[in-house]
Amino acid sequence: MITVLFGGSRPEGNTARLTKMAIAGYDYEWIDLTQYQLNPVRDYRHEDKSIDSYADDYKTLIDKVLASDTVIIASPVYWYSLSASMKAFFDHWSETLLDSNYKDFKDKMSKKDFRLIIVGGDCPKVKAKPCITQVKYSLEFLGASLGGYIIGTAERPGDIEKDVYALSRAKEWQQTLGKN
């Protein structure tokens, strides 16, 4: 099962279009993170506390991710980083690590095929590199790895249709998703 974690502010924008091209022909669940409530993270790493409940939508989201085989992280580049909604989701992983209901969290995450699609308008092939590094290190901390990424170049609505390289990479993914 493929789950798309979408962190864009435009549901039909360039990031969404490129992602949908890459998964064309597959069954998938599209999770628009902007439609969910993610509260500030509780940081209990240095306290003798555990976490066993959530007062937001995080548990629903992480359970869907954990039930997936492939997870596509799709975000525009905002200020050289992932979107705020995507970052908020990643930050909640700290809570999951302290939740006794998810003792096997790292193990389950390590078995996922994670992919990244990022789109930006101002030299994204260079300026999106911090996003790739951020995702790569976050996954490695959990014992997982980033199985691939696509960087799209698009400034205005519809510009992704002009990025021949990103479109060809999306077609490659159509051939390889689910084969890891």
Q: Note down the domain range covering 83.
A: 2-174
> What pTM does this model have?
0.94
CA distance 151 to 149: 7
User: How confident is the model at residue 127, as a pLDDT?
Assistant: 87
Q: Is the predicted pLDDT of residue 15 greater than 80, yes or no?
A: yes
CA distance 113 to 71: 6
Q: What CATH number should be reported for the domain holding residue 20?
A: 3.40.50.360
Residue 52 amino acid letter: D
Q: Is the predicted pLDDT of residue 179 greater than 80, yes or no?
A: no
**Helix locations, the chain, DSSP H:** 14-22, 58-66, 84-91, 93-96, 105-110, 124-127, 129-141, 164-176
User: How confident is the model at residue 46, as a pLDDT?
Assistant: 86
Residue 99 amino acid letter: D
User: How confident is the model at residue 17, as a pLDDT?
Assistant: 97
Instruction: Establish if 180 belongs to a structural domain.
Output: no
Average pLDDT over every residue of 108-117:
97
More confident residue, 53 or 146: 146
Instruction: Establish if 179 belongs to a structural domain.
Output: no
Split into its structural domains, the chain has a count of: 1
